[in-house]
Amino acid sequence: MAGRDEIIKRGYVDVKVYMSGLRQSQRLTVYKEKTVHGEVPYLECKNYIPSAELVRLANELQMPIKHKNKMILPKGMTPKDFAKSEILGSAEPATVEAEVE
């Protein structure tokens, strides 16, 4: 599977999912959502994928996946973890030095 930075750069990822005993190909597209922590990239699936497969994909790809009104995150991660990632180019705020008299 492609790495997270490669997926974001390309803008989509093709995955194989199991639905009703059949293996299907699905394309998940990268979108960015503004939150209080910054822009969070996530994968959106247009077609139905069972929740168990969404959880498996989120953990495999290490990216949040959104389908309709639910967001699936990789185990142990929050949206804040993705907003602060170096992939998005977010940098530390500039340090300001001042002298006090």
In a domain, 31, yes or no: yes
Judge whether 21 lies within some domain: yes
Side chain identity, residue 80: K
pLDDT band of residue 84 (cuts 50, 70, 90) is low
Domain-embedded: residue 48:
yes
Whether 94 is covered by a domain: the verdict is no
Task: Tell me the per-residue pLDDT of 34-67, one tens digit each, with 9 for 90 and over.
Answer: 888 788 899 999 888 898 999 999 999 999 999 8
Domain holding 55, by residue range, is 4-86
Answer for the pair 33, 81: CB distance below 8 angstroms, yes or no: no
Closest CA to 42 of 54, 53, 28: 28
Domain count of the fold of the chain: 1
Coil, helix or strand at residue 50:
coil
Structural domain contains residue 91: no
**pTM of this structure:** 0.72
Q: What is the DSSP letter of 86?
A: G
Residue 85 has a pLDDT of 46
* Of 3-7, 14-18, 83-87, minimum mean pLDDT range: 83-87
- Rounded CA separation 71/48 (Å): 14
